[in-house]
Amino acid sequence: MSAQLTPEQKEKMMAEFQAFIDVATAEQKEEMLSFLEEMKENAFENLKEEIEEEIPYIDIKPYSHNIINLQLRRMAKDFGDEKTKEFIRNNEDLMAKGWASSAI
């Protein structure tokens, strides 16, 4: 799991990011946006993998349902309800185990 940033760390990071934006060329800004989108997509793929790795343990390991529910909530918070619902609809194993995209 990833570590949470403190408010001070977030503030410092945002200040540094704003300083970059203030002096960056249009090309540098475009590269930064592309990089951030790639990071976001990688984070989504990693979360999908975490969920998919937990699915075989449903009804075998305790708390597997809870772990998946927490990961799906995190996915909805970070990437939106629609993207999470689409992931559930496209995952036959989750659908077979009783998860419904309407539950998000």
> pLDDT category, 1, cuts 50, 70, 90?
very low
pLDDT in tens, 66-80: 999 999 999 999 999
Q: Which domain holds residue 64?
A: 7-103
Q: Which of 95, 101, 93 is nearest to 72 (CA)?
A: 101
Q: Is residue 2 part of a domain?
A: no
| Helix 64-79 with 81-90: angle, nearest 10 deg | 130
pLDDT in tens, 55-68: 999 889 889 999 99
Which ranges of 24-80 would DSSP assign to H, the alpha helix?
Answer: 26-54, 64-79
Given a contact cutoff of 8 angstroms between Cβ atoms, the answer to whether 58 and 65 are in contact is yes
- Split into its structural domains, the chain has a count of 1
Q: Is residue 1 part of a domain?
A: no
Given a contact cutoff of 8 angstroms between Cβ atoms, the answer to whether 87 and 80 are in contact is no
Average pLDDT, integer, range 73-101 = 92
Neighbours of 11 (CB within 10 A): 11
